[in-house]
Amino acid sequence: DAGVIQSPRHEVTEMGQEVTLRCKPISGHNSLFWYRQTMMRGLELLIYFNNNVPIDDSGMPEDRFSAKMPNASFSTLKIQPSEPRDSAVYFCASRVEMDEQYFGPGTRLTVT
C-alpha cells in the first residue's frame, strides 16, 4: 500500500479564495482524521470520520471549514473563504479501530 496520500503537497493562495485539500486513506482503514499543525497551537484535531460518517467536528475552527467523506477511499477538507491565519500544515491520518494512526505527508497551506 502507498500509505495515506494527500494532495496537493503545497498550496499558496490569496485571502478569500477557496481551498480544497484531498486525502486518500489506506485501504481497509475505517477511521479518517484531519489535523492542523502550527508552531503556535501544535497539532490540533479538526474532525474525524468513522465508516465515512463524521463523528466529532468540534475541532473545526469556523464555519469556513467543512469536510466530507463521500466514500471509504476519499475525503476532502475545504476552506471557504481562506484567511492568512489558516496558514498551516494540514495532515490526514487513517487507522483501523483502536490501532495506531498512519499519517499522510501533509499539505502545507500558505494564505497570503
Beta-carbon contacts of 37 under 8 Å, excluding residues fewer than 6 positions away, are 43, 44, 88, 89, 90, 91, 106
Residues near other proteins, by CB under 8 A: 4, 31, 33, 42-43, 45, 48, 50, 55-56, 91, 93, 97-106, 108
Query: Could you tell me the smallest distance in angstroms from the CB atom of residue 81 to other proteins?
Result: 27
Minimum CB distance to other proteins smaller for 42 or for 70: 42
Would you say how long the chain is, in residues?
A: 112
- In terms of DSSP bridges, do strands 74-79 and 88-95 run parallel, antiparallel, or are they unpaired? unpaired
Cross-strand bridge partners of residue 71 = 74
Of 36 and 82, the one with the shorter C-beta distance to other proteins is: 36
C-beta closer to other proteins: residue 2 or 98: 98
Q: How far is the CB of 33 from other proteins (least distance, A)?
A: 7
Shortest CB 93 distance to other proteins, Å: 8
Q: Hunting for cell 500544515 — which residue is that?
A: 89
Pairwise CA distance, residues 17 & 43, whole Å: 24
